[in-house]
Amino acid sequence: MIYTKFQELVGTKYPIIQAGMGPYSTTDLCIAVAKEGALGLISTIGMTAGGASSAAPEAAQEIFGKGRPGVIIKRVIQYVYDHLKDYPDAKFGVNIPVATDFIYAARSLMKGAIEILKENPEMQEKLKVIVTSAGDPLPWAIDAVSKGAKKARIAIKEKLPHITWCHVVPNVRGAKRAEKAGADIVIASGREGGAHCAWRDVSSMVLLPEVVKNVSKLVVGAGGFADGASLAAALALGAAGVQMGTRFIATQEADFQEMWKEALVKRAETDTLIARGLFGPMRFLRNDMSLKVVDETISDASNLFRGIPCPSNDKIMRIEMQGLEKLIEENEDESIILGGVVTGRIHSIPTVKELLESIMSEAEQIISNLPSYIKKEELVEIEK
């Protein structure tokens, strides 16, 4: 039985996080994952336009309703909690991007999450984690300015001392900054991951052990994890667990179109590409629409690598919005479909229960069999 410090801290059965993934709220997926023993996350990226995207499934649009991000997140948290309150061991969390371009929404979302937990203390037994991503964690620290932040935002651990704060990083520098901010867990995300990623090409195999070496916090691996073999590898590299996004999209309960799930099954490991996204680079499945985004991206690629906005940004955003709206038509070539390199290792659409049980069973078997993989030299006494 695998039991890590992540499970001990968060209270989950398995050392696995379901990533927050846009453009939807992942409410049904979060509920299914939490019920089965992993950490389910609510995604908030789709809560910023006053309601759900028209491309979102109809059920998701009803849950979102209308209103400011802070109002919507409270509604969604309540929905998830209501579905989990009768499951004693179920734990869930919220993912909030804190990129500069997203800061107004991030503040509203954070305030909403804090308010509903203060208003309903019983929720604190279920909502155990806040994950911040895609930006600098330091402004969200206690005494942020004294720690080196240019501006203080909301001190997460001060407002919610019970919460486990995780921050997603793409490099060692970011990991050290998360540790300085007071995050409890560092999620080291290699560039293999789908959707938001780093311009600099650092893979999980390089990033994960180096982050483990450089910080004293618990580390979770993300980017390229999908099964028991990759979980066992993460543990061998020093991680306390893994976060999976793309693999969870291709499950029966996921809040994503069937076309999206089937596209992940069909693609090979070479069928993704990176281009400019909604506040930074993103990894897409390769199709006609994502190639259009690439065309616009490379027109000023050197500035994008420096983080400097380019004139084509608005056009890129329009292409991506058109691609997201096409999802409702389930038009694979004209849709923007997010996904990681691990799409090449996804060959089925199981239930969440089947997926988690297979991951844990495979990881335990691999770990127990490791000694048999190593050839031991027999000592032969040589008579003189």
DSSP-assigned letters across all residues of 246-296: HHHHTSTT-SS-HHHHHHHHH--TT-EEEEEETTEEEEEE-SHHHHHHHHH
277 and 249 in a common domain: no
Count of domains observed in the chain: 2
Query: Is the torsion defined by CA of 114, 119, 121, 126 positive or negative?
Result: negative
65 vs 9, higher pLDDT: 9
Q: For the segment 242-277, what is each residue's pLDDT rounded down to a tens digit?
A: 999 999 999 999 999 999 999 999 999 999 998 887
| Straight-line distance from the first to the last Cα atom of the chain, in angstroms, rounded to the nearest whole number | 49
The whole-angstrom separation of Cα 164 and Cα 187 is 12
293 and 246 in a common domain: no
pLDDT for res 51 = 45
Of the chain, the percentage scoring pLDDT greater than 90 comes to 68
Q: What value, to the nearest 5°, has the Cα angle with vertex 313 and ends 307 and 319? A: 135
Q: For the segment 92-118, what is each residue's pLDDT rounded down to a tens digit?
A: 999 999 988 889 999 999 999 999 999
With b for 16 or more beta-carbon neighbours within 10 A and e for fewer, the 93-115 pattern comes to bbbbbbbeebbebbbbbbbbbbb
206 and 189 in a common domain: yes
The one-character DSSP state at 142 is T
25 vs 236, higher pLDDT: 236
27 vs 25, higher pLDDT: 27
1 part of a folded domain? no
276 and 240 in a common domain: no
pLDDT for res 306 = 60
128 and 274 in a common domain: no
323 part of a folded domain? yes
pLDDT for res 121 = 93
265 vs 306, higher pLDDT: 265
Tokens of 224: 């390229």
274 and 244 in a common domain: no
19 part of a folded domain? yes
368-372 long-range contacts (CB < 8 A, ≥24 apart) are: none
- The answer to whether the beta carbons of residues 45 and 33 sit under 8 Å apart is no
352 part of a folded domain? yes
Q: Please state the rounded mean pLDDT for residues 56-77.
A: 74
Tokens of 81: 């909690």
300 and 225 in a common domain: no
* Phi, psi angles (nearest 5°) of residue 142: -70, 135
* Phi, psi angles (nearest 5°) of residue 283: -100, 130
357 and 316 in a common domain: no
Check whether 305 has a pLDDT greater than 70.
Answer: no
Check whether 30 has a pLDDT greater than 80.
Answer: yes
341 part of a folded domain? no
274 and 251 in a common domain: no
- The answer to whether the beta carbons of residues 129 and 39 sit under 8 Å apart is yes
pLDDT for res 338 = 92
Q: Please state the rounded mean pLDDT for residues 25-50.
A: 89
65 and 34 in a common domain: yes
Q: For the segment 157-209, what is each residue's pLDDT rounded down to a tens digit?
A: 999 999 999 999 999 999 999 999 999 999 999 999 998 888 888 999 999 99
Q: Could you tell me the CATH number of the domain that includes residue 193?
A: 3.20.20.70
* Least confident stretch, 75-89, 147-161, 271-285: 271-285
Strand 280-285 vs strand 16-18: parallel, antiparallel, or unpaired? unpaired
- The answer to whether the beta carbons of residues 290 and 273 sit under 8 Å apart is yes
358 and 273 in a common domain: no
The whole-angstrom separation of Cα 46 and Cα 72 is 10
Strand 39-43 vs strand 91-97: parallel, antiparallel, or unpaired? parallel
pTM across the whole model = 0.90
**Which amino acid belongs to residue 278?**
L
2 part of a folded domain? no
289 part of a folded domain? yes
251 part of a folded domain? yes
pLDDT band for position 25 (50/70/90)?
confident
Check whether 53 has a pLDDT greater than 50.
Answer: no
pLDDT for res 322 = 82
165 and 127 in a common domain: yes
Residue 321 belongs to domain spanning: 264-329
Which helix (H) or strand (E) is 169 found in, with range?
strand 164-169
The whole-angstrom separation of Cα 33 and Cα 271 is 27
